[in-house]
Chains A and B, each alone.
Chain A
Amino acid sequence: MRHIISILVENEAGALSRIANMFSARGYNIESLTVAPTEDASMSRMTVVTVGSEDVIEQITKQLNKLVEVVKVVDLSQAEHIERELMLIKVRAGARERDDMKRMADIFRGRIIDVSDNTYTIELTGDGRKLDAFIQALDQGAIIETVRTGASGIGRGNRVLRV
């Protein structure tokens, strides 16, 4: 099962590698990992997407909690939550493809954020499946470069993760 885990961690050198190291040392998967400081600069928030049985996920959350710098851990997938991922995609957009490409970006609510004579760079936000769908929808030959952030997640409604 795919799980999305949110981690509040002290914003200290080495904290990221401690967490990444725990995953690799114990043989757990990381599908994606995002991290950045929160509104409180002393803390970072990390979102890890992982895959594993219930037992494995239980161990992952316990092992994360055991790390001294980890302040809180929540398995977002246990309840209603929202997740978003950002993709920047550079596509071929010469005179012939330009209009089609603009339309396609519009359909997916993407924004063109950089333009050159023969390329567009499109910014697209959504859950992972939407980004996948956009890539699928394009002529594969038109894709020059993609970069994705991996998922960030947050609980719905009153469900909050803070100290």
Chain B
Amino acid sequence: MFKVFPALAVMDRVKGVELSGAEIVVRCLQEEGVETLFGYPGGAVLYIYDELFKQDKVRHVLVRHEQGAVHAADGYSRSSHKVGVCLVTSGPGVTNAVTGIATAYMDSIPMVILSGQVPTHAIGQDAFQECDAVGITRPCVKHNFLVKDVKDLATTIKKAFYLAATGRPGPVLVDIPKDITTHSCEFQYPESVSMRSYNPVRKGHAGQIKKAAQLILEAKRPMVYSGGGVILSNAAPRLTEFVRLLGFPCTNTLMGLGAYPGTDRQFLGMPGMHGTYETNMAMQNCDVLLAIGARFDDRVIGNPAHFAQNPRKIVHIDIDPSSISKRVKVDVPIVGNIPDVLDDLLALLKADARRPEAAALEAWWKQIELWRARDCLKYDRKSKLIKPQFVLEKLYEVTKGEAFVTSDVGQHQMWAAQFYKFDRPRRWINSGGLGTMGFGLPAAMGVRMANPGATVACVTGESSIQMCLQELSTCKQYRLPIKIVNLNNKYMGMVRQWQQFFHGNRYSESYMDALPDFVKLAEGYGHRGVLIDKPADVEPALREAFARKDELVFMDFITDQTENVYPMVPGGKGITEMILSEEL
């Protein structure tokens, strides 16, 4: 037959056929190569939904709550390096999305949120389902737009994708009034956009990179501290090459796990409040600290005054100048795109015959091994109760370390970060910055959508999972066989832990008295539920669940209620002032 459609598409471009705003939105998404869109319909976006109905290039995933849509788009992005996209309606659609947007903002996740708005003539009239979306989201987006003319729509959406994905990534919201979706104009999707006020850097300053190389070569007690920026910029292979070339010890932050292989000897574990003993000791006692795509977060360096007590030279590579010398003064700042900077740095080091002093490095490693020998993650393996750490070790074994693991927020999150060794980037998906309970399940949906066929586990707790539980219904609709590992200790575990340590065992409101029967609940949503309350049943239950390739299995592990996360640096303390498990 005739190739009617492609020919028409070409003519569209030449002649610039008039399209409605709603058609333009959908065409823009197609032009951007968006395959999956997470959303929830409502009055202000009806015309857009009508256009979505008429096409099949962009797949719409219907969530059960807008927060779920944003977290799903977030998980989609984190696990794939694509821009996550969601569509919500005006008013409550947007306000429900705010937690998700703030989550993405804190972790610098590239995302475009399209929100409906009441018609332009109704804006400011307190119209039904009106809210100031641009105003409400302003503090938690990289940028946002209100489209006031259909002629600006395509360019604005192009800008949104450009801003979201370049520089330090982040969420960008485009607010589209309903009447704009009915107005029409010629459609032409811009090939590219440039903005005089926005010019993200790529290359680092050559002189600074030279200085960094010099410090590296002179280092006697070096430490590589890499963060989420390495993963976001796809620099993990270069980081690994860099660390191996030099033989330096390396830590990955909570956001950076998987950037350097977690099973490698040069990897010391996560730093910070629940970081390993050896990492925190090395961070404090090194003489040259190489911070790469990390931001000296309060949960990582603890008390900045204590951190500054030990003299050390700090090299900081980051794409965002405002991350540099924000919390900790650094000696050699390098602003640039991490892969570019690491390429330049590697080239310099490879061309240089000199290497850091081997004897000094060996002595440093000896010291590190002594620290490592403290075995700071040890726990009671003889307990008759299920230890949460044990579940995660078994999860690692059963999935051979190859699963995508999402988590919610709290003790289970820290144990997952400590006990699941991530050898690859984009496998560990969690809300590090904002610490959003309810993130795990919808994020897992997005991960599975971006990685069809992949094994996806959501590590959660009985409190977190209830915050976006409604998405179990979405999982049923789209047949997402996520494996939910619910570490059920009947407490908001991390809150309980703080109350035990710092509030005289007064467990104020951290205990839930009326938990649902999670097995029946899972079954109610059309999934499989399993209750596991004996250590011996942990591994068989995991094996069986992961063998069920096409089913969502909700595993409710009844764990030791009193278990705590160790090591722990109390708030306001220095990172070497750790509470270790054996000290209690």
Binding site for B on A (CB under 8 A): 9-10, 13-14, 17-18, 21, 25, 55, 58-59, 62-63, 65-66, 68-71, 163
Contacts and interface: CB of A to CB of B under 8 A. Distances in A.
A63 B322 contact: yes
Nearest to B139: A25
B526 to A, nearest CB: 43
Contact of B198 (A25, A59, A68): A68
Contacts of B163: 68
A13 B139 contact: no
Contact of A70 (B197, B321, B325): B197
A65 B134 CA distance: 20
Interface string B116-159: 00000000000000000011001100110010000000000000
B322 A10 contact: no
Contacts of A59: 322, 326
Interface string B320-338: 1110111000000000000
Contacts of A17: 135, 138
Nearest to A71: B197
Given A18-B138, A163-B196, 4 more contacts: A58-B325, A62-B321, A65-B321, A71-B196
13 contacts: A10-B197, A17-B138, A18-B138, A62-B321, A62-B322, A62-B324, A66-B320, A66-B321, A68-B143, A68-B163, A69-B197, A70-B197, A71-B196
Given A21-B138, A71-B197, A66 B322 contact: yes
B139 A21 contact: yes
Contacts of B359: none
B142 A68 contact: yes
Nearest to B142: A68
Nearest to A68: B143
Nearest to A163: B196
B139 A68 contact: no
Nearest to A69: B197
Contacts of B320: 66
Interface in B165-212: 195-198
Contact of A14 (B138, B321, B324): B138
A99 B326 CA distance: 57
A13 B149 CA distance: 14
Interface of B: 134-135, 138-139, 142-143, 146, 163, 195-198, 320-322, 324-326
A13 B198 CA distance: 17
Contacts of B142: 68
A21 B142 CA distance: 13
A66 to B, nearest CB: 5
Contacts of B321: 62, 65-66
For the residues of B in contact with A, the DSSP-based class is mixed
A43 to B, nearest CB: 9
B322 to A, nearest CB: 4
A68 B138 CA distance: 12
A17 B197 CA distance: 17
A68 B325 contact: no
Contacts of A66: 320-322
B146 A13 contact: yes
A14 B134 contact: yes
Contacts of B146: 13-14
Contact of B195 (A18, A68, A163): A68
A21 B146 CA distance: 17
Nearest to B134: A14
A100 to B, nearest CB: 49
B325 A55 contact: yes
Contacts of A71: 196-197
Nearest to B148: A13
Contacts of B134: 14
A40 to B, nearest CB: 11
Contacts of B138: 14, 17-18, 21
Contacts of A69: 143, 197
B172 to A, nearest CB: 9
Nearest to B135: A17
A59 B163 CA distance: 22
Contacts of A68: 142-143, 163, 195, 197-198
A94 B253 CA distance: 72
Contacts of A25: 139
A163 B199 CA distance: 13
B399 to A, nearest CB: 39
A71 B195 CA distance: 9
* 6 tightest A-B CB contacts, nearest first: A62-B322, A68-B143, A71-B197, A62-B321, A68-B198, A66-B322
Nearest to A8: B197
A58 B139 CA distance: 20
B511 to A, nearest CB: 35
B147 to A, nearest CB: 11
Residue among A10, A63, A68 with the highest chain B CB neighbour number at 10 A: A68
A59 B295 CA distance: 14
A17 B138 CA distance: 9
A71 B198 CA distance: 7
A25 B139 CA distance: 8
A108 B197 CA distance: 41
A21 B325 CA distance: 22
B166 to A, nearest CB: 11
A163 B321 CA distance: 21
A130 B324 CA distance: 39
A111 to B, nearest CB: 38
Contacts of B196: 71, 163
Contacts of A163: 196
Contacts of A65: 321-322
Nearest to A9: B197
B188 to A, nearest CB: 22
Contacts of A9: 197
